[in-house]
Structure 1
Amino acid sequence: MMRWFVLAISLICLASNTCLADPIDFVHDVRPILQKHCYECHAGDVRKSGLRLDVRSEAFKGGELYGESILAGKPEESPLWQFIADEDADLQMPPEGPTPTSEEVAMLRRWIEQGAVWPDGVDEVELADPTNHWSFRPIEDTTVPQVIRTDWPQNAIDQFVLARLEAQNLSPSKAASRADWLRRVSFDLVGLPPTQKEWEAFKNDDSEGAYQRVVDRLLASPRYGERWAQHWLDVVRFADTHGFEVNTERPNAWPYRDYVIEALNQDVPYDQFIREQLAGDTMNADAATGFLVTASVLLSGQIGKDEASKRLARQDSIDEIVTNIGTSFLGMTIHCARCHNHKFDPISQRDYYEMQAFVSGVEYQDRKFEIPLGDMQRDQRKRWSQRRSELHLQIATVAPLADSTAPRPMVNSYENIDRFTPVRTQQVRFQVQATNRYEPCIDELEIFNVEGVNVALAEQGAKLSSSGNNVSPNRHELRLINDGNYGNSSTWMSNEVGGGWVTVEFAQPQLIEQVVWGRDRLGKFSDRLAMEYVIEVRDEKGAWKSVANSANRHPFDPQKNSHTPVDIDSLAENKQSHVRQLIHEKDELTRKLSQLANSRAVFAGTFREPDEIRILGRGSPEMPKERVSPSVPDLFGATTLPQDSNEQQRRLALADWIVSENNPLTARVMANRIWQGHFGLGLVETSNDFGHNGVPPSHPELLDWLSAEFMRSGWSLKHMHRLLVLSSTYRQASSFNQAAAEIDTDNRLLWRYPPQRLMGEVIRDSILAINENLNLEMGGPGFSLFDKRGGLSGFSPVKSFDKDGLRRMIYSHRVRRERDPVFGAFDCPDYGQSTPRRRESTTSIQALNLFNSRFVIDQSRVFADLLKDQHTDTPQQIEEAYQRVLMRPPTPQEQTEAISLVDQYGLASLCRVLFNSNEFLFIR
């Protein structure tokens, strides 16, 4: 209800020509009212609801809730006057303190009616231009500074660092020893300690370019991609579960992790790396779009069935994508403008929702895609296939030959082995004569020569023909029968009920002895199984000759049908365990090969018609306002697309803007991340926030030079690594200097190399590498750290590992909110939030885990056994242990104490002590 006296006075004023004619003076008449009733909550640093009334531009812009607070000439539509004059307003103002008098209310009304004149130069304060922030300015072509000491710099980096040191009358530290530098650069670039052989080679190499050769070797190693992928996955919050309360497994998230490793190893230019992650579906890099959906997300069963809950869940999922893009690529907290204008940076609510519009057609789910295998996957597939062939031959020795009088195991939907006397041919025909139901299906037809090679594979040059097949998009096509993939989704299906044939023609004649086939090697389906069949080869005259058939197999029995192609129970007892072990290993390889396939499922972005995006009042989907088009924040200029732009155009336009040389953030942010990876702290300490709330760079000119050099190099990360690790700045010793510390306590001027503790993953990998127990198999599904791979709670840790569990830790199955029980104590993230930089805590749990965990005890014993195999006497074993763990021999005192320890508690105890030592755990 409007105060009657306010209305009365207002009407009197309206009726009075004299009242209207008198101009209102803002300084004399209006500002005192605002100071008295408004400034306590809406001036200076106190800006409740984002409203500030002591600066003209801010006052007219309004706050977070109601837009413009003052509309010149329209007092009834101006929230400022409404909330003061109307007792029933949503926000009665002021909430506390003296109520404005009727004269004051009338004065504000008259001022607004007369045009709300607020003269220039009368603001309480003068605001700095928020767009004139150091990170928003163009990258400058910085001049390399001159320095007094000219014998120290190796490259421009050193000149920038030395110039700052000299300005403070500081000097850099002496160079680190060769051993310290080699250990440092090895951990930095590949996350593993140098081997004794590598150390000896470097120690004895006095020729020019010795350091360069070490760096080139490390950057060429596939271990480099594994090491640096960890940094990136921390930033983008990658995990193998969905998060939230249920934390369901994402079984097909890992291809994105493998994509990142492969891209880094191939030194994919960073601008292309970004494009592929935003629009990889247009660039034959589908797995890269896993970036778009790395964050936690609610699944359909976790979302309320009402429409309001669905709208909120959709908003949350799009917000996660904008968050990832903003923090990862731009170092900006754009997502803070979801509910109101950004409190620190010049990012409006409109800017935020215009960014949403770029990705409003992205969904979260598994999808199939065709992908050419990278070098890593091809090598891995070859190794797995060769090993699987070896296992076939070993298992086949306990299976009767196809032409034997003894019956073979029953026809099996999982896998069947038909062996025969070796025969030379160039064509093999598999002819189905009857099935247990419907048209026959075969997921993979494998034909092995006497060398154990599957010569039926398409990559071996084999060609196919068939009697016909039931084709559906990417399913049941003839090409799927020899693509190396297993399972129902990769099968050939005949178009003839109960029959059909497939012929495989080799690139050249082969001496073959075995055919292996199955209806569904993953064991989900047992219908459409070929019950009666004949396997034929074509001789030199073109005639077909049978080499195996189903006649002497047991009849099909659904109750007894199993995945085991051998009747193990019929074997001698001393063979059963061995055969079961072989079959288990072969089954695991079958599973892995099915997941490492040209046609692959991946949890990644899927794309549809974009949602209509509107600005949301207070960030609520139930308060929609005007519709917006895809556009970058006004701060960065005009990159706006029409509202009817299709989904793909939107993501491509966004990627093009992010990698544009006119965007000053992208190169700066990544150059800073690379620096942080080598020195522990970025030139900008807040590497995910380059905005007003972040920390300014310690060396702004150096950061700009590095950013420009990054772009000049063609966005090459490996080029940047070389620059940094070959600099004198990086080569410094880490010894402490009290005088320098009094001037620069935090070593931000880099008067020494900053010591750093190894990451938890690196500690684990290094222990395994030192005792030669590290499994270097790359790629594929992750190994389990817990007894389950997703769920509500109660994750019991796996305590002992073998085979897959001894791979590098980046290949572990990452469960959100569950850190590794041993090495998670070393500040591993929980994968729920972006972790741009690992903090380095020191806790008693770290020492207890490294000394008492089953993993470290087991690996210490393995290390001790290795040392005993190499040396028979204790002093030599101790010296070898020190050399491997610390890259130096023990001192005489250490040798004496170690001998006493070994004599009393055993060599494994010494190994545990060395793994616990700070000298091992820290890079210096």
Structure 2
Amino acid sequence: MVPGAPASAADKVDFVRDIQPLLKERCIACHGEEKQKSGLRLDIKAAALKGGESYGAVIVAGRSADSALIQLVTETGDDLRMPPEGPRLTAEQISLLTRWVDEGAVWPEGVDSAVAENRLDHWSFQPLRTFPDGLGVDHFIRADLTKSGLTASVEADRRTLIRRASLVLTGLAPNPEEVDAFVADADPRGFEKLVDRLLASPQYGERWARHWLDVIAFGETHGFEVNTPRENAWPYRDYVIQAFNADTPYPQFIREQLAGDATGVDAATGFLVAAAALLPGQTGKDEESIQKARQDELNDMVANAGGAFLGLTLHCARCHDHKFDPVAQTDYYGLQAIFAGVRHGERPLAQANDSKLQERLKLQERLALASHERALLEPPAQLGEGAPLRPEVSPRRNIERFPPVETRKIRFTIQKTVDDNRHEPCIDELEIYATDARNVALASDGAKPEASGSYDNPKHRLAHINDGRYGNSRSWISSTPGGGWIAIEFARPESVEAVVWGRDREEKYRDRLATEYLIEAQMPDGGWKVIAASSDRQSPGAGEGTPQAELSEVDRRQAGKLDNELQGIEQRLAALWGDSVVYAGRFEPAPQMFRLHRGEAMQKREAVSPSAVQALRPEFRLPDETPEQARRIAFAGWLADPQNPLVARVMVNRLWQHHFGEGLVSTPNDFGRNGAKPSHPELLDWLAGEFIRSGWSIKHMQKVIVMSACWKQASAPRPDCLAVDAQSRLVWRFPPRRLEAEVVRDNMLASAGTLDDRMGGPGFSVFAPNSNYVRLYNPKPEFGPAEWRRAIYMTKVRVAQDATFGAFDCPDAGQPQPKRPRSTTPLQALNLFNSGFVIQQAELLAGRIEQQAGPTRPDQVRQAFQFVLQRVPDAEESQLCESLVEEHGLPALCRALLNSNEFLFLP
């Protein structure tokens, strides 16, 4: 039938027979898959019935007089008539369209135009596949190698494995002693024990936080023309480090970043305002300029959430429906409604600090020393019958001293509380002092708490037990009335000799106090040894005790002096913490949001409710009256719902990328139709499923990957495999690659023995101070110990790079960079060989070698190789390097080794 030929008046108009051919011939060129003028698309039912930007619904079923489609095809003027070019529709064709609309505009499901594929058929929107039990990474890798006629490479030697694992998981090479011990370890579980140790290292979080900060374009300046600093943005960086170290379950990681203000992790919402933003004085004062700037802020929030968690380019739907993925423009503005109450700016924060940070750090250092000194004045615990009684427990501070014990975990078990077990017991801080006066229980030192059960609200959380904060509002409460236990596992085995604890150091509360308890240390065999208990304390209410009964007069006076000092320090610290602010967003009631015509800030169309991508499961839409904070909490829950097919896939792909240099999907922030297809689709789904089954444990997934045979392969090239797969995408070997700039810099410092491993707090700057209105970020001419911390703590300035290492493809925080390019340029070689920083560290390394190895050339060369490359040189290398040292000096050899490919590349 000729398109649009008249149907019999007695017959109902049939869409497939009568209407679809007409639309395809006369309308689809301007309103189809490739082009949607005025936002109108007529090849897909849902899009056609929704309408375009200018007229709303163009097809009103049963009412042709109200349908813009009919009005436009009957328009007589040239400006508005449709189609705009070519012959007009005939009277018969117009009549056919009119009858179809008046008869109800029946458009059967599943008969959309052939030019428009169903976008939900895309692989990434499909549910995760399920697999039989017992499979692993190597099953899928071997299967694809076999299909391609390739074989896996042999396992790398142990020296390579420990260097590779250390660099990937912590960003720091092992020291020579660790290498020698691992090579000599005959334990079949030796490599697994190494991986467990590296994953438990505090340096693990510092390494992997950098990857996440790249994804979200985290910066510590505002960007744009003046690019002024955000002095208090750094707590978000510290939060990410701590979250990776604590192996925070991924749904919790998402929830904290979207709504940490509701869960007591305020710094985490730095995620929402990580991107650049115009300062109030940089926008025009007219309403249109203000609204445009606000739209740009909201766009960055939507784009960051979409790219980081969903792997979708949601911001492409700002002006029209997404041209490739099933994201409607109304979905985009529904997501804006989620973030509508979020504003850039600072707010008070308990965990951060600003100008008074240095005072706080000094006070905390003195607090630890004074607490240890005070503990040493207490007589050690004397357990058993007949032991002299210590005073009854105090709500404020209790000291438990015992003979030094080597352990990695201390457990505090509560058996009774002051109110006869009516209430759940509370502890505001559990401090554990090593023999060298360090409080090794602190989370900032990598210690991890666990408990039999815990309250979880802003004031009372498990994380508060070792956060260095005192008072009821930062305490742990057991979920067991009158009992329960709390344990602290240290980052490494420690020799400890004292525990200090209290119910409330601020002395505001005296209830929920533990009166009967045991303190135990875990032994190497896994058993527990009681090291202190309440059995040698007076019963509550039995009368005033004599805390220093066994002390000399001199010691009693010193104890009283220390008690007064400690109380003063704690009070001052509380005041300093109370003054803290963080650049993590401000929150206000969410206004009504609207779809904007072509994304124009001043062209509002229909109102939209808080919602997400409606094409994805499960469906997500909230009432307009939903409070601002509740919107973000609900959205976080939707993201982490196992029905959502994208979130787990996207995250495990990121983990694979940073282990192998390339993701299974090579476009980590775009899992849509414009993105790459997965190289191993079944493996991707298996990893995503395992991620969910593990309780969303990132460390578990990294161990799964690192323990696989394919990860442990040698990296040597093989001509037969290169001919088939030059990029090693099939993983027939471990793909070698150059280390990132931060890792190179950190390991130069570590080799020279100058690396400052202090964690957390404000970062250091590699730029000279200036106070210009338009900030000029000029490199510092010289560097000293203040700049010798790990690169993760380098203040991240937008669109300004470190003079030496910026040439190594560092993101500039102008845009998210989920995958760094790996370029090779002459400037990189010149920077590494000639920069003042590298020359300085080479000289310091030479001094370290001379101190360790003495004046003998062969010993110096051997020591240089061990410090830099974690191995000894062979005979030829020794001879060449001794000649180099003889002719040009030891710093020249150090400089050469720090520029060697073996140092700069992941083996």
TM-score band by shorter chain is 0.7 to 0.9
Paired residues, number: 721
The question of 1:219 aligning with 2:199 is answered yes
The question of 1:247 aligning with 2:227 is answered yes
Alpha carbons of structure 1 residues 776 and 631: separation in structure 2 relative to 1, 3 Å: same
The residue identity in structure 2 corresponding to 1:808 is R
Whether the aligned pair in 2 keeps the contact of 1:84 and 1:105 (CA below 8 Å) is no
Shift of 1:806: 0.4
The aligned counterpart of 1:792 is 774
Equivalences for residues 37-186 of structure 1 within 5 A:
37-43=26-32, 45-48=34-37, 51-54=40-43, 58-63=47-52, 66-72=55-61, 74=63, 77-86=66-75, 93-94=82-83, 97-100=85-88, 103=91, 106=94, 110=98, 114-115=102-103, 125=114, 127-143=116-132, 156-186=136-166
Shift of 1:289: 1.1
The residue identity in structure 2 corresponding to 1:812 is M
Mapped partners of 1:285, 1:303: distance in 2: 32
The question of 1:802 aligning with 2:784 is answered yes
Alpha carbons of structure 1 residues 892 and 672: separation in structure 2 relative to 1, 3 Å: same
The aligned counterpart of 1:567 is none
Deviation readout 1:788-842 (Å, 9 max, x if unpaired): 4786353211132212200001101111111222111111001011111111111
The question of 1:882 aligning with 2:871 is answered no
Shift of 1:135: 2.0
Mapped partners of 1:27, 1:384: distance in 2: 77
Taking structure 2 as the reference length, the TM-score comes to 0.72
Alignment match of 1:187 (pick from 148, 167, 183): 167
Shift of 1:242: 1.0
Whether the aligned pair in 1 keeps the contact of 2:352 and 2:582 (CA below 8 Å) is no
Shift of 1:138: 2.3
Query: After the TM superposition, which of the residue ranges 717-726 and 226-235 deviates more from structure 2?
Result: 717-726
> Unmatched 5+ residue regions in structure 1?
1-16, 146-154, 391-451, 455-481, 486-491, 493-505, 514-536, 543-588
Whether the aligned pair in 2 keeps the contact of 1:144 and 1:160 (CA below 8 Å) is no
The question of 1:658 aligning with 2:636 is answered no
Alpha carbons of structure 1 residues 595 and 916: separation in structure 2 relative to 1, 3 Å: farther
The question of 1:860 aligning with 2:842 is answered yes
Mapped partners of 1:224, 1:88: distance in 2: 69
Bigger Cα Rg: 1
Shift of 1:90: 6.9
Shift of 1:107: 5.2
Deviation readout 1:167-221 (Å, 9 max, x if unpaired): 3332110001111111111111110111111111111111121101211221121
Mapped partners of 2:111, 2:712: distance in 1: 56
Shift of 1:903: 2.9
Equivalences for residues 424-573 of structure 1 within 5 A:
none
The aligned counterpart of 1:643 is 624
Mapped partners of 1:263, 1:626: distance in 2: 40
Whether the aligned pair in 2 keeps the contact of 1:162 and 1:172 (CA below 8 Å) is yes
Whether the aligned pair in 2 keeps the contact of 1:81 and 1:108 (CA below 8 Å) is no
Whether the aligned pair in 2 keeps the contact of 1:51 and 1:58 (CA below 8 Å) is yes
Whether the aligned pair in 2 keeps the contact of 1:24 and 1:110 (CA below 8 Å) is no
The residue identity in structure 1 corresponding to 2:812 is D
Alignment match of 1:306 (pick from 286, 294, 297): 286
Query: After the TM superposition, which of the residue ranges 227-236 and 342-351 deviates more from structure 2?
Result: 342-351
> Unmatched 5+ residue regions in structure 2?
1-5, 371-435, 439-467, 472-505, 507-545, 561-568
Shift of 1:453: 11
Mapped partners of 2:646, 2:163: distance in 1: 33
Query: After the TM superposition, which of the residue ranges 122-131 and 103-112 deviates more from structure 2?
Result: 103-112
The aligned counterpart of 2:330 is 350
Mapped partners of 1:204, 1:756: distance in 2: 27
Equivalences for residues 803-818 of structure 1 within 5 A:
803-818=785-800
The question of 1:369 aligning with 2:349 is answered yes
Mapped partners of 1:19, 1:639: distance in 2: 45
Query: After the TM superposition, which of the residue ranges 795-804 and 290-299 deviates more from structure 2?
Result: 795-804
Whether the aligned pair in 1 keeps the contact of 2:317 and 2:328 (CA below 8 Å) is yes
The aligned counterpart of 2:813 is 831
Deviation readout 1:209-265 (Å, 9 max, x if unpaired): 110121122112111110000011111111101112221110000011111111111
Alpha carbons of structure 1 residues 201 and 364: separation in structure 2 relative to 1, 3 Å: same
Mapped partners of 1:91, 1:253: distance in 2: 53
Alpha carbons of structure 1 residues 876 and 270: separation in structure 2 relative to 1, 3 Å: same
The aligned counterpart of 1:334 is 314
The question of 1:822 aligning with 2:822 is answered no
Mapped partners of 2:867, 2:821: distance in 1: 27
Mapped partners of 1:765, 1:123: distance in 2: 57
The question of 1:671 aligning with 2:659 is answered no
Mapped partners of 1:789, 1:358: distance in 2: 39
Alpha carbons of structure 1 residues 85 and 917: separation in structure 2 relative to 1, 3 Å: farther
Shift of 1:86: 4.0
Deviation readout 1:104-157 (Å, 9 max, x if unpaired): 885576456654566788765164332233222222322268xxxxxxxxx711
The question of 1:296 aligning with 2:276 is answered yes
Mapped partners of 1:330, 1:771: distance in 2: 42
The question of 1:846 aligning with 2:828 is answered yes
Mapped partners of 2:77, 2:736: distance in 1: 63
Alignment match of 2:888 (pick from 877, 894, 905): 905
Mapped partners of 2:110, 2:680: distance in 1: 36
Alignment match of 1:209 (pick from 189, 201, 208): 189
Mapped partners of 1:300, 1:632: distance in 2: 29
Mapped partners of 2:34, 2:608: distance in 1: 31
Alpha carbons of structure 1 residues 539 and 671: separation in structure 2 relative to 1, 3 Å: closer
The aligned counterpart of 2:180 is 200
Mapped partners of 1:365, 1:51: distance in 2: 39
SS of the residue corresponding to residue 349 of structure 2 reads strand
Mapped partners of 1:264, 1:453: distance in 2: 27
Shift of 1:606: 1.8
Mapped partners of 2:109, 2:689: distance in 1: 40
The aligned counterpart of 1:690 is 671
Alignment match of 1:894 (pick from 867, 877, 880): 877
Mapped partners of 1:594, 1:512: distance in 2: 32
Deviation readout 1:472-492 (Å, 9 max, x if unpaired): xxxxxxxxxx9999xxxxxx9
Mapped partners of 1:685, 1:18: distance in 2: 52
Whether the aligned pair in 2 keeps the contact of 1:330 and 1:669 (CA below 8 Å) is yes
The residue identity in structure 2 corresponding to 1:879 is R
The residue identity in structure 1 corresponding to 2:688 is S
Mapped partners of 1:900, 1:129: distance in 2: 70
Mapped partners of 1:61, 1:256: distance in 2: 41
Mapped partners of 1:807, 1:657: distance in 2: 39
The aligned counterpart of 1:397 is none
Taking structure 1 as the reference length, the TM-score comes to 0.71
Whether the aligned pair in 2 keeps the contact of 1:37 and 1:100 (CA below 8 Å) is no
Mapped partners of 1:66, 1:798: distance in 2: 59
SS of the residue corresponding to residue 867 of structure 2 reads helix
- What RMSD over aligned residues (CA atoms) do the two structures have, in Å? 4.1
Whether the aligned pair in 1 keeps the contact of 2:73 and 2:94 (CA below 8 Å) is no
Whether the aligned pair in 2 keeps the contact of 1:64 and 1:339 (CA below 8 Å) is no
Whether the aligned pair in 1 keeps the contact of 2:43 and 2:116 (CA below 8 Å) is no
SS of the residue corresponding to residue 730 of structure 1 reads coil
SS of the residue corresponding to residue 293 of structure 1 reads coil
Mapped partners of 2:858, 2:272: distance in 1: 55
The aligned counterpart of 2:904 is 921
Alignment match of 1:629 (pick from 609, 623, 627): 609
Mapped partners of 1:124, 1:830: distance in 2: 44
Whether the aligned pair in 2 keeps the contact of 1:255 and 1:780 (CA below 8 Å) is yes
* Percent of residue pairs bearing the same amino acid type: 47
SS of the residue corresponding to residue 228 of structure 1 reads helix
Alignment match of 2:698 (pick from 717, 720, 725): 717
